[in-house]
Amino acid sequence: MEKKDQDPESKSAKNISRRGFIRGAGLSTAGSVLLSSNVLAFDYREHPAKGKEFGPGAMTIKMKVNGITKSISVEPRTTLAAALRDHLGLTGTKVVCDRGACSACTVYLDGKPVNSCIMSALDVGDKEVTTIEGIAKNGELHPVQEAFIEHDASQCGYCTPGMVMSCVHLVENNPNPNLEDVKDATRGNLCRCGTYPHVFKATLEAAKKMI
Ligand code: FES
Ligand code: FES
């Protein structure tokens, strides 16, 4: 005789739909990402493509990056990091973990740091993207970039663009940061070479020079 519906646990398990399970797993993953790395500054209630269906083929979208709007052809699965690197040639943004855990891929979306490896290119909509290539102005490095060089805050360099983006965001929004502020701003940026003391010193020095 079949055992169906006799075990209350198996019954409740059956009541969890596949879609519900995937949604729950996604939310739980997003939660851990928010704790471990830069905040994903995207509000899905304002999704530019709400109610539309895309894919599976490529489609043309416009994206404003570092002040310039360009058209690119991307598949719905294309991440923002892939769009920047593979479609726009902006390879300064690094992809290391490719799963939202290290913040090497940090760029700004309307001025807020996001992990571009876990964001869909389609989700950018009309928001402006700023990459590490857009941090220097008129051929002049940002004071944080200068300080990173001066204080030897980079070794292999894989984490460096993301680290610089987090530190620039801090000093641009907090004119007088202390050590704890710098640690907090870079808490999601993982550096396997252990450059943290140099990064902290460089950022504090840059902030002082910018006053
Ligand atoms: S968080 Fe994007 S590469 Fe690690
Ligand atoms: S400098 Fe190598 S991972 Fe940070």
Q: What percent of the chain has pLDDT over 70?
A: 76
Please tell me if the domain spanning 44-49+57-134 has the same topology as the one spanning 143-210. Answer: no
Q: What percent of the chain has pLDDT over 90?
A: 73
pLDDT tier at 38, thresholds 50, 70, 90: low
Closest ligand 2 atom, CA of 192?
3
pTM score, two decimals?
0.79
Separation of 188 CA from ligand 2 center, angstroms? 13
> What is the rounded distance in angstroms from the CA atom of residue 56 to the CA atom of residue 156?
37
Please work out whether the CB of residue 104 comes within 6 Å of at least one atom of ligand 1: yes
Closest ligand 1 atom, CA of 116?
2
Is it true that domain 143-210 has CATH number 1.20.1250.20? Answer: no
Give the domain ranges of the chain: 44-49+57-134, 143-210
Separation of 203 CA from ligand 1 center, angstroms? 21
Strand 128-130 with 59-65, pairing: parallel
Res. 40: pLDDT tops 90: no
Mean predicted confidence (pLDDT) in 38-55: 62
Class (C level, CATH) for 44-49+57-134: alpha beta
Residue-wise pLDDT for 123-174, tens only, equals: 999 999 999 999 999 999 999 999 999 999 999 999 999 999 999 999 999 9
Pocket residues: Cβ below 6 A from ligand 2: 154-160, 191-193, 195
Ligand nearest to the CA of 96: 1
Residue-wise pLDDT for 94-123, tens only, equals: 999 999 999 999 999 999 999 999 999 999
Please work out whether the CB of residue 101 comes within 6 Å of at least one atom of ligand 1: yes
Separation of 127 CA from ligand 1 center, angstroms? 20
pLDDT tier at 52, thresholds 50, 70, 90: confident
